[in-house]
């Protein structure tokens, strides 16, 4: 491993100690960079892809908030790219050389990939494959697009995943407008301001009360981007009442529950199912955004990647979680 990327006991978290010996066994390596990664299925997904393609590659968990460490580690000559998760999806952007259109428009990056220049230099580029994961979750799992197309949609939450959901609903899923709800009004204000800069803020409707929700047309697609915790604060309780009003509308739809860590079987998903909604597990978004990442990293097309084997592996892991 290069000197600039060497992990030392004095300065680095214990989660990355011993990285040199792990990396030296591989032809190429990548990282999953973020916090609370123990239950993430991302390394499993990519391991299946690399095994099926005969590649001696691996995605290594880097459970850290140390951005300087990450920026040193990616300089290694055998680094191929990284999945970037919370809390780094926005913070990583100033450190990148180029951004894809989706990454720039969403303002959040979940994928770091390399572009090689003729002179041998490598550019560090950012993409947002979360938007593809969200789009494909609906396209692949809802046979009749009229369930969600040309109807309002709703996004629950105000973080990076919510921004990706808004973009996907706006650009590809034909939402007539997008209701945005959060426990934190300042989060929504920031989202609306950013989307307005990118020309689609006018399509957002901030729903602040259950009474307001009662008077609105029901959504056809909902994307939930919040942790699976019971509501405790007043803001959280208001948010839950708004969601309950929307779920009880006469015309139902499909909800993508983005939360799958530590389990995709959430309280919100159970509530939606009890109200007659089709629930799409967050692992669907994981699968399709992960396949899109491997297109960047391996140079293969979707048809050349082992999508079926990935689905089987994730289903097997879900079965384990269900038993637990």
Confidence (pLDDT) at 6 = 33
pLDDT digits (tens, 9 = 90+) for 225-276: 999 999 999 999 999 999 999 999 999 999 999 987 778 889 999 999 999 9
Confidence (pLDDT) at 201 = 86
Confidence (pLDDT) at 13 = 39
Domain ranges, ordered by start, for the chain: 3-128, 132-282
Distance of alpha carbon 309 from the chain centroid = 21
E strand or H helix that includes residue 113 = strand 111-116
Confidence (pLDDT) at 16 = 47
Confidence (pLDDT) at 159 = 82
What pTM was estimated for this model as a whole?
A: 0.88
Confidence (pLDDT) at 319 = 87
> 60: phi > 0 → left, psi -120 to 50 → alpha, else beta; which?
beta
Task: Please check whether the two domains, 3-128 and 132-282, share a CATH topology.
Answer: yes
For domain 132-282, which architecture applies?
A: 3-Layer(aba) Sandwich (3.40)
Reported in sequence order, the residue ranges of 176-321 that DSSP labels E, i.e. its strands, are 178-181, 204-206, 221-224, 254-257, 278-281
Confidence (pLDDT) at 197 = 87
Which residues, including other chains, have CB under 8 Å from residue 17's CB and lie 6 or more apart? 7, 9
User: DSSP secondary-structure letter at 187?
Assistant: H
According to CATH, what is the number of the domain 3-128? Answer: 3.40.50.10860
Contact 178, 204 (CB under 8 A): yes
Q: Across the 324 residues of the chain, what is the mean pLDDT of every consecutive 10-residue run? A: 32 52 92 92 97 98 95 95 93 97 92 96 97 97 97 93 93 97 92 87 94 98 94 96 98 94 88 98 96 98 97 92 76
Sign of the C-alpha dihedral computed for residues 257, 262, 265 and 270 taken in this order: negative
E strand or H helix that includes residue 30 = strand 28-34
Tell me the residue length of the chain: 324
């Amino acid at each position: 491993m290069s000197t600039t990327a060497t992990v030392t006991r004095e300065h680095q978290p214990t989660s990355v100690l011993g990285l040199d010996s792990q990396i030296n066994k591989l032809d190429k390596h990548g990282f999953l960079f973020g916090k609370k990664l123990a239950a993430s299925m991302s390394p499993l997904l990519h391991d299946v892809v690399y095994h099926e393609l005969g590649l001696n590659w691996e995605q290594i968990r880097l459970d850290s908030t140390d951005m300087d460490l990450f920026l040193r580690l990616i300089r290694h000559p055998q680094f191929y790219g990284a999945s970037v998760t919370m809390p780094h999806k926005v913070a990583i952007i100033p450190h990148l050389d180029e951004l894809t259109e989706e990454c720039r428009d969403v303002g959040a990056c979940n994928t770091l990939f390399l572009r090689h220049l003729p002179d041998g230099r490598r550019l560090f580029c950012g993409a947002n494959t979360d938007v593809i994961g969200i789009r494909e979750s609906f396209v692949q799992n809802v046979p009749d697009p009229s369930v969600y197309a040309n109807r309002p949609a709703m996004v629950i939450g105000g973080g990076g995943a919510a921004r990706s959901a808004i973009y996907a609903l706006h650009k590809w899923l034909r939402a007539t407008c997008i209701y945005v709800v959060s426990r934190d009004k300042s989060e929504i204000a920031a989202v609306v301001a950013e989307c307005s800069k990118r020309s689609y803020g006018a399509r957002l409707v901030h729903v602040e009360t259950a009474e307001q929700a009662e008077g609105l047309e029901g959504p056809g697609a909902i994307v939930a981007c919040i942790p699976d915790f019971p509501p405790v604060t007043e803001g959280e309780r208001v948010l839950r009442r708004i969601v309950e009003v929307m779920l009880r509308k006469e015309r139902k739809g499909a909800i993508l529950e983005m939360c799958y860590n530590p389990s995709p079987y959430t309280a919100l998903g159970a509530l939606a199912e009890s109200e007659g909604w089709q629930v799409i597990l967050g692992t669907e978004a994981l699968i399709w955004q992960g396949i899109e990442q491997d297109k960047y990293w391996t140079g293969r097309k979707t048809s050349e990647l082992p999508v079926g084997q990935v689905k089987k592996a994730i289903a097997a892991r879900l079965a384990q979680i269900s038993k637990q």
